[in-house]
Amino acid sequence: MDVARAPVNRRFTLAPMMDWSDRHCRYLWRLISKHSVVYSEMVTTAALIQGGKHERHLGFSEVEHPIALQLGGSAPEDLGHCAKLAEDWGYDEVNLNCGCPSDRVQEGKIGAILMAEPELVADCIKAMQDACSIDVTIKHRIGIDDMEDYADMCRFVEAIAATGCKTFIVHARKAWLQGLSPKENREVPPLRYPLVHKLKQEYPELEIIINGGLKNLDDCEEQLREVDGVMVGREAYSNPYLLAEVDKRIYQDERPIPDRMTIYKQYLDYCGEQLLGGHKLNFMSRHVLGLFQGQPGARQFRRHISENIHKTGAGIEVMEDAAAFIR
């Protein structure tokens, strides 16, 4: 796909989340915010090269732009091949995962474990840059295990920056590769925002995006005084209407803020179209359960969908009927 791409504005980004930020989730997010940058779930190079199911792993709707593909891998040649696939499929950016701490990922030498090998990561980034013309970025932690927090993070960043890579998405927690589950690694290690702020101060030429623990737009705007961008993950999934004011407050877009029910009806139209293409309704309905968080009737709304969407013969009417619970 040979298309002219506008520069990606990463002032507000939505995190890659395994099993969550699939194409249906991203479509819902895009209905709420037109400007946020959305990231795919991590896709391993092995899945793309050996599996070959490119539509399954790479397919997305045109309305999802600006969109980034996150890759997991540690072989430069394979990552270069997959970066070219990302460009060919129309992605605006390709991102290397150096932050995931799961045991399964570690076994494949993917994710946070790569922070121990900055030279290898630099080779990977260089191979990706050589293979494509879209932005190549990296997402990583402030450190892993017994790494000296700030000094070792700087050594890692400097090695990658030497390739010409300019964009670093930093999860402001250390990852403990032994002893903590992936869930615990998102919650137990303390957030250390000042280390990320210091990184931006000492490397002003780099684009530094902060990730971890951001719950609302007030928090995000506070962080934007120190860094170039923010990345929000779990909160945007459990409470997607958080995004309703992003375009106005972060991107100064004065278009009217969409209301929840309008968004819901637009998403129902999307679900109906996707059903015709063979997508499963329960895979789509789960992403909208938090849309009415805090509203009267939200609990009954969620319960109706959760209890009925898996029943034999369940169709789009389950989601249509659920709307009646919202007052």
List residues with catalytic annotation: 100
Torsion angle, alpha carbons of 171, 176, 177, 182, to 10: -60
Helix (H) or strand (E) holding 73: none
Single out the residue of 32, 22, 2, 20 nearest to residue 250, CA to CA: 32
Compute the distance between CA of residue 236 and CA of residue 298 in angstroms, rounded to an integer.
17
- For residue 43, give the 3-state DSSP assignment: strand
**Token pair 């896709």 in the structure block, residue:** 43
Instruction: Identify whether the C-beta of residue 318 lies closer than 8 Å to the C-beta of residue 304.
Output: yes
Rg of the Cα trace of the chain? 20
Instruction: Please name every residue paired with 140 in a beta bridge, in sequence order, or none if there are none.
Output: 98, 170
Pairing of strands 12-14, 67-72: unpaired
Q: Distance of CA 316 to CAs 140, 267, 270, 282, Å? A: 39, 11, 11, 10
CB hemisphere CA count around 140 (13 angstroms): 26
Instruction: Identify whether the C-beta of residue 110 lies closer than 8 Å to the C-beta of residue 97.
Output: yes
